[in-house]
A = this chain, B = another copy of it.
Amino acid sequence: MGRCVLIGVFDSGVGGLSVVKQLLKAFNSDIIYLGDTARLPYGTKSKETVLKYSIQNAEFLMRFNVDAIVVACNTASSVAIDVLKKKFNLPVFGVIEPAAKLAAKFEKVCVIGTTSTIQSNAYPKKIAKYNKGCRVTQRACPLFVPLVEEGWIYDDITYEVAKRYLYDLECDALILGCTHYPLLREIIQRVMGVGVSLIDSGEALVKGLKDFKDLFEGSGRLNCYTTDSEEKFAKLGSMFLGKQFNGVKLVDLG
């Protein structure tokens, strides 16, 4: 891997900005972010469709001569990462492998994510690569994303939904396999109990990249592109980036 000044990051929507937040904190790279809000969510769609969208997103980022691509979306990482690595001649980082590597240190692991992420079995396969003896259970939680987008983060209803999804899961560590889920960390921890380690897939990715820290440079600039309303992107996105921002540009990938 060469010097990395400009990183291209894509996600189905604004959730990946939580990964950007951590990237900006850890490194000084410049970032081009693409949120494919006109076609979100990815997590309910077929792998063929998610693969097509992921390639289009990566092709858009390539126009900026990025030095590396980060796939901040768990669903896109689950189904597209190998194809993207083969197709594009630059480093491509996804959120599955780093979280799987961390989780593999535990005996019993649960993975929660979108329907497509869970159906892909990407996490169990990667965990087995690091620890064949690790017992992995998976659970799709389709309502978590709309609940977060509704802003019901610390809500009794969200707690009831979390109980419904998670009550019977037993594990030492739980992978939050979707960029929206860290916002529900408090409720999920309450349901799972304090003894369960929560693994944030975006956090794990940035932690992993720190091994290459010396390769990153830049001035910490962020440029955002969206395929739907710029205004809505900036408004919802600030929840994930942890601060207000503007200058979002509209792009048509269809």
Task: Give chain A's interface residues, CB within 8 Å of chain B.
Answer: 37-39, 44-46, 48-49, 52, 142-143, 146-147, 149-150, 156-157, 160-161, 164, 227-229, 232, 254
Alpha-carbon separation in the docked complex, A222 to B37 (Å): 32
- B142 to A150, Cβ gap below 8 A? yes
Tell me which of B149, B157, B232 contacts A157 (CB under 8 A).
B157
- B164 to A46, Cβ gap below 8 A? no
- A45 to B37, Cβ gap below 8 A? yes
A144 — nearest CB in chain B belongs to which residue? B146
Q: Which residues of B contact A228 (CB under 8 A)?
A: 45-46, 49
Tell me which of B37, B149, B227 contacts A142 (CB under 8 A).
B149
Ranked nearest first, the 6 interchain pairs of A and B with the lowest CB-CB distance are A46-B229, A146-B146, A38-B49, A49-B228, A39-B39, A45-B228
Q: Which residues of B contact A146 (CB under 8 A)?
A: 142-143, 146
Q: Which residues of B contact A143 (CB under 8 A)?
A: 143, 146-147, 150
Q: Which residues of B contact A45 (CB under 8 A)?
A: 37-38, 228-229
Shortest CB distance A117–B (Å): 15
Alpha-carbon separation in the docked complex, A48 to B228 (Å): 8
* Additional A-B contacts beyond A39-B39, A45-B228, A46-B229 (19; CB < 8 A): A37-B45, A38-B39, A38-B45, A38-B49, A46-B228, A46-B232, A48-B229, A49-B227, A142-B146, A142-B149, A143-B146, A143-B147, A143-B150, A156-B160, A157-B157, A157-B160, A157-B161, A157-B164, A254-B254
A155 — nearest CB in chain B belongs to which residue? B164
Q: Which residues of B contact A160 (CB under 8 A)?
A: 156-157, 160
Alpha-carbon separation in the docked complex, A160 to B156 (Å): 10
Q: Which residues of B contact A37 (CB under 8 A)?
A: 45
Shortest CB distance A104–B (Å): 31
13 A-B contacts, Cβ less than 8 Å apart? A37-B45, A44-B149, A46-B229, A46-B232, A49-B228, A52-B254, A143-B146, A146-B146, A156-B160, A157-B157, A157-B161, A157-B164, A254-B254
